[in-house]
Structure 1
Amino acid sequence: MATYKQIMGWVKKNYGISVKTCWIANIKEDVGLKLRKAPNRIDSNKRKYSCPPEKRDLIIEAFRHFRMI
């Protein structure tokens, strides 16, 4: 499984767009990938920043590139 930095780097290299780690976590949760509990997360039941719809497909494409889905 790819790290968040690898996913961020791949999206930046291929599309020139920076993505946030919380967006990656949001998409991982949506597609059913396992998440770890972040030590700095304030509320484990709420997500502060959801992934914008226009970035969703880029992150999913990165997941496919790294064969995570």
Structure 2
Amino acid sequence: MHTAYIAEVKRDLGLPMHDVPNVVEELKNSRKHPTPEKVEAIKDALKNFGIV
């Protein structure tokens, strides 16, 4: 599972994210969005680890 997918799901859930010192204003490549199946898998994993 790509970390960008996990970060997108965390943002959608309103979970706190850490500040990144070398953040880029504009991406070089367009970002792909996770499929609904991957979103559900990420949410299940976050629940399993007690984050959600």
TM-score when scaled to structure 2?
0.73
Higher helix share: 1
User: 1:25 aligns to what?
Assistant: 7
Q: Aligned partners of 1:43 and 1:51: how far apart in 2?
A: 21
Unpaired stretches in structure 2, ≥5 consecutive residues: none
Q: Aligned partners of 1:56 and 1:39: how far apart in 2?
A: 27
Q: Aligned partners of 2:36 and 2:20: how far apart in 1?
A: 23
How many equivalent pairs are there?
49
Cα 1:38/1:52, change in 2 over 3 Å: farther
Runs of 4+ in 1 over 3 A off after TM superposition: 37-41
- Superposed, which structure 2 residues align to 1:53-64 within 5 Å? 53-64=36-47
User: 1:49 aligns to what?
Assistant: 32
Counting aligned pairs with the same residue, the percent is 31
Unpaired stretches in structure 1, ≥5 consecutive residues: 1-18
Deviation at 1:39, TM superposition (A): 4.4
Cα 1:30/1:40, change in 2 over 3 Å: same
Q: Which amino acid aligns with 2:35?
A: P
